[in-house]
């Protein structure tokens, strides 16, 4: 089976740095995705980690440790528009490219 855990809510200050953690227990793990979802909208792709280490994309970075079943999303120089839910999803690597999603972390950025 698949199990994805991430905090339900987080609050951070504009301009600060925030780290959103995700732990997973899956069979046949082959990668970890992060998506951003603003209220009432569809999720949008942020990052995809296959190998251990840090992937950086502008203000957003994502880290993966396959041996620990752990990932985090790092958001720097927070802006008010970063207030959203952040979804962690594990990819099983089967031919159907199925993802198992966590319940999401609702991030509130305050002035």
Partner 1 sequence: SQTIHQWPATLVQPVGSPLSLECTVEGTSNPNLYWYRQAAGRGLQLLFYSVGIGQISSEVPQNLSASRPQDRQFILSSKKLLLSDSGFYLCAWTGKNIQYFGAGTRLSVL
In the complex, the residues that contact partner 1 under the rule CB under 8 A are 4, 31, 33, 40-45, 48, 87, 89, 91, 95-104
CA–CA gap between residue 80 and residue 20 (Å, rounded):
17
Cβ 14 to partner 1 shortest distance, Å: 26
* Residue number, 69 or 78, with CB nearest to partner 1: 69
SS3 80: helix
SS3 13: strand
Cβ 16 to partner 1 shortest distance, Å: 26
Diameter of the chain by CA atoms? 45
* Residue number, 4 or 109, with CB nearest to partner 1: 4
CA–CA gap between residue 15 and residue 7 (Å, rounded):
21
Cβ 77 to partner 1 shortest distance, Å: 25
């Amino acid at each position: 089976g698949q199990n994805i855990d991430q905090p339900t809510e987080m609050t951070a200050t504009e301009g600060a740095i925030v780290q959103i953690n995700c732990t997973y227990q899956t069979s046949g793990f082959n990668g970890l995705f992060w998506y951003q979802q603003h209220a009432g909208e569809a999720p949008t792709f942020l990052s995809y980690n296959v190998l251990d280490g840090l992937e950086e994309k502008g203000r957003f970075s994502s880290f993966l440790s396959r041996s620990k079943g752990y990932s985090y999303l790092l958001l720097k120089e927070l802006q008010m528009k970063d207030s959203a839910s952040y979804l962690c999803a594990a990819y099983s690597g089967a031919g159907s490219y199925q993802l198992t999603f966590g319940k999401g972390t609702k991030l509130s950025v305050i002035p």
